[in-house]
Amino acid sequence: MKAFNLTVSALLLLANPAFAVDYQGKNIDGRKLPARVYSFKTGGVYDAQVQFKQNLATIYFANGGQLMLRLNQKRIADPNKILGYGRAGQLPLGRSLGIGLNFDEGLTGSLAIGAGRLDDLWNISLNPSDLEDKGE
């Protein structure tokens, strides 16, 4: 298991470009922000919080669930149109791969690696006033 964790860590370091997400030239990495999240798969809109880190966004849903998305952009031009790919139980690798365990009714778990699809597309909407620097 240690070898697997080391391999995944190495892949993450190699696959993820190191950049911070910014809005109007200001780094917003590391801040938890209120958000509304739209799922292209279900058509549902969810109240959540989002935390950015480089090219990833972690979504914290009100029910306690979490989802990690791989972002399409590093600069946020429109805070209502932040697109990212992700699937429950998956950790995004690079621009087009994800790895993780998905529950399968016939198996105890299965390894899934694949590119983002429309089913995996999410839109994050933020209130611009929440992105302003409040002296933190």
Residue predicted with more confidence, 26 or 92: 26
Determine if the pTM surpasses 0.75: no
Residue 2 pLDDT exceeds 80 = no
Strands 82-85 and 75-76: unpaired
Q: Mean pLDDT over residues 43-60, rounded?
A: 92
Residue 39 pLDDT exceeds 80 = yes
Amino acid at 35: A
Q: What is the pLDDT of residues 97-133, one digit of tens each?
A: 444 444 333 333 333 333 446 678 999 999 988 887 6
Token pair belonging to 32:
């938890």
User: Scanning the structure block, which residue is given the tokens 């983002």?
Assistant: 116
What pLDDT is stored for residue 134 in this prediction? 58
Q: What is the pLDDT of residues 60-105, one digit of tens each?
A: 998 888 999 988 888 889 999 999 988 765 444 444 444 444 433 3
What pLDDT is stored for residue 135 in this prediction? 52
Residue predicted with more confidence, 90 or 24: 24
DSSP type of residue 77: S
3-state secondary structure of 10: helix
3-state secondary structure of 108: strand
Amino acid at 48: A
DSSP string, 30-84: T-EEEEEEEETTT--EEEEEEEEETTEEEEEETTS-EEEEEES-SEES-TT-EEE
Tell me which long-range contacts 23-28 makes (C-beta under 8 A, separation of at least 24).
23/75, 23/76, 23/79, 23/131, 24/131, 26/131, 26/133, 28/52, 28/76, 28/131
Measured CA to CA, the distance from residue 15 to residue 44 in angstroms comes to: 30
Token pair belonging to 5:
């964790």
